[in-house]
Amino acid sequence: MFKLRHGFLGAQQLLVAVVGVGGTGSEIVSLLINLHLGLIARGYGGLHVVAFDPDTVSPSNIVRQRYSPADIGLPKARVLISRVNLCYGLDWEAIDKKFSSAYAKHGWDLVISCVDTRRARAELHRYAFRERFGVWQFWLDLGNDRTTGQAILGTPRGAERKLLHSLPCATELHPELMDTSIPEDAPSCSAAESLNRQDLMVNKAVAMFGIDLLWRLFRDGKITSHACYFDLATSSLSGRPVPVKAKRRRTAA
């Protein structure tokens, strides 16, 4: 069992970075509203979300992503966050740039990565485990194939951040996620082609499982599983148990 550090949730808002607001990222932003309101209902400060994405909305994005035909040509992050702020009276931020090393240096309470290339995950891994960058308390990585997906919550750490109870990150459990020697899929040019690569509901599913994992941790202060794997084609679902907590070493009196 992994327990949330005492005082992690409080009156202050948690600083959250969402890296990529495409198929999964746009669903995540929408669900983060629910998480934010749920935390406030329980007396906490909620979330302050900063969304990063350098891309603009294209026609192929309309079917699986939370954008409309009127958004085509506009920056994804700005469209999504402006809509959220207008509807809910929030002051979340949109940055229509790549999540670079300059942004990675911030002390994020939570980084949620919704990227679709191995190169992007390799960069995030470097940022998460370099001590000269700001410490991320948690890193939730979300990924999917056509009908399968995974949501993995980890605790980045390095030589200067020894944790008695750590959660392995997605790139530690599955190094192939950041293996740049494996060829990347070409971007989809149409909505029909996009659906051949990623099924209609797979992004919604991986986003829902990721947010549910966070909600259980924040609501109960503990979790017994830190990763979720699913396959919509076979209706299968499995979790990865939290690693056993390391025992403290006793020193002689």
Give the domains, in start order, of the chain with CATH numbers: 10-241 (3.40.50.720)
Q: What region, left, alpha or beta, does residue 26 occupy, with left being phi > 0 and alpha being psi -120 to 50 degrees?
A: alpha
Q: Which single residue is written with the structure tokens 């309470």?
A: 109
pLDDT digits (tens, 9 = 90+) for 123-143: 999 999 875 555 899 999 999
Structure tokens at 85: 């702020």
Q: For residue 59, what are the CA distances in angstroms to 63, 75, 82?
A: 8, 13, 20
Candidates 127, 97, 92; CA nearest to 111 is: 127
Question: What's the pLDDT score for residue 194?
Answer: 67
Contacts with 191 (C-beta within 8 Å, 6 or more apart), sequence order: 59, 60, 62, 63, 64
pTM to 2 decimal places: 0.93
Question: What's the pLDDT score for residue 253?
Answer: 45
pLDDT digits (tens, 9 = 90+) for 81-122: 999 999 999 999 999 999 999 999 888 999 999 999 999 999
Beta strands 93-95 and 110-113, pairing class: unpaired
- Average pLDDT, rounded, for the chain: 91
Q: Positive or negative CA dihedral for 66, 98, 31, 238?
A: positive
Distance CA 170, CA 188 (A): 25
Question: What's the pLDDT score for residue 187?
Answer: 62
Distance CA 220, CA 207 (A): 20
198 or 103: which carries more pLDDT confidence? 103
pLDDT digits (tens, 9 = 90+) for 14-64: 999 999 999 999 999 999 999 999 999 999 999 999 999 999 999 999 989
Candidates 145, 26, 30, 172; CA nearest to 87 is: 30
